[in-house]
Amino acid sequence: MTITIRLEEEKDYRQVEEITREAFWNLYVPGAEEHYLAHTLRKHPDFIPELTFVIEKDGELIGSIFFSHAKVEDEVGKEYPVISFGPVSITPKYHRQGYGRMLIEHAIAEAKRLGYPAIVIGGFPYHYHTYGFLGTKKYGISMPDGKYYTGIMALPLKKGALDQVSGKIVFSEGMYPDQTHLADFDETFPPKEKKVLPCQAKFEAAVNEIDETEY
């Protein structure tokens, strides 16, 4: 078996969007929007192409990871640049086989090599604590509403990178694309049934969970 991780190329775009759609379909909401996010994020000024990778297994493209610029803004308006990743997708038949881990570890190492200071993400803590991510409460970085959530996590890429940073995390507007054209875009893919599933309620509860941890 040969595993290759490389930068995404234009020839990969549609296949990456197809994989992303399959990976997220009915996971967080009925249907999915992450494939549209992948499609639109590439055109946004905050997109980071030098950190957007695909993973291949024996020449078959099976997953991808996207990065974008974000910032922490303190109470006087000073901004501290950070980066964020998402969506991260692996073809469903290859889930839980270590390919996502390979992809994320490669991307984190490359971000560190390129000199980025820190990564801030949203996701399930049990997925990301293993990479060293901790709740942003540890660093005094809240969401714009001033609250600390368990699903918002940070990873310094340089020693002390977040020690003098506090404020509110501001993710790129590119992570919240206008939904006006989502339905039209989705119609360019094979039809799939939208379903309400228990995992969606679990996700909704998770994104609203307040971080009570004492760091």
Using DSSP, state whether 30 is helix, strand or coil.
Answer: coil
What is the average per-residue pLDDT within 2-23? 98
Q: What is the pLDDT of residues 154-171, one digit of tens each?
A: 999 999 999 999 999 999
Residue 127 covered by a domain: yes
Q: In angstroms, rounded to a whole number, what is the distance separating the alpha carbons of residues 177 and 194?
A: 20
Q: What is the pLDDT of residues 15-24, one digit of tens each?
A: 999 999 999 9
Let me know how long the chain is. 215
Residue 37: band (very low, low, confident or very high) from pLDDT cuts 50, 70, 90:
very high
SS3 for 58-107 is CCEEEEEEEEEEEEEECCCCCEEEEEEEEEEEECHHHCCCCHHHHHHHHH
CB-CB contact of 130 with 140 (8 Å): no
pLDDT, position 153: 98
Residue 215 covered by a domain: no
Provide the residue range defining the domain that includes 58.
3-175+198-207
Residue 189 covered by a domain: no
Residue 36 covered by a domain: yes
CATH number at residue 117: 3.40.630.30
Residue 78 covered by a domain: yes
C-alpha 138, offset from chain centre: 20
Residue 187 covered by a domain: no
pLDDT, position 2: 97
pLDDT, position 127: 92
pLDDT, position 152: 97
Residue 137 covered by a domain: yes
Residue 166 covered by a domain: yes
Q: What is the pLDDT of residues 95-146, one digit of tens each?
A: 999 999 999 999 999 999 999 999 999 999 999 999 999 999 999 999 999 9
Q: In angstroms, rounded to a whole number, what is the distance separating the alpha carbons of residues 213 and 150?
A: 9
Number of domains within the chain: 1
